[in-house]
Amino acid sequence: MRQIYTQFVILALNLANDKQERAILEDKFTNVKQLLGSYKGTMENSYLIEVKNKEDLLNVSIIANKYNQESVLLRDNENQAHLWYMATDDMTHLGTFTEVSQHRAHQEDGYTFDYATQKYYICV
């Protein structure tokens, strides 16, 4: 039987204040998890948000656009990751969202570190 994965997005707001970022996101979403990310080689605070419906996707788009985010990572229910570009609404397939070693993650210009599980992820 095929495994169904929870859909989520990973995004950053790049404000100077983590508490302000969490407040903005928690105003619209019930399940917000803080992560550490690297995007194009730049470290940033990022957040994982479960996407349960089209309203969640709309809210992600509104927030990402408001805070000038070029793109967000969207993982679908088949564990495939896509870069969702806000300006055009286009998506680029990145690959499978995969757990890797710290060493392997640091070889990439884009990765995610989950503070809670102490695990690293990349798209391959």
Give the C-alpha separation, 123 to 120, whole Å. Answer: 11
What the block records as the tokens of 98 is 């995969």
Q: What angle do CA 107, 110, 115 make, to 5 degrees?
A: 95
Q: Could you tell me the CA-to-CA distances from 61 to 38, 89, 108 in Å, in that order?
A: 20, 9, 26
pTM: 0.94
109: helix, coil or strand?
coil
Tens digit of each residue's pLDDT (9 = 90 or more) over 45-68? 999 999 999 999 999 999 999 999
pLDDT the model gives residue 41: 87
Of the chain, the percentage scoring pLDDT greater than 70 comes to 100
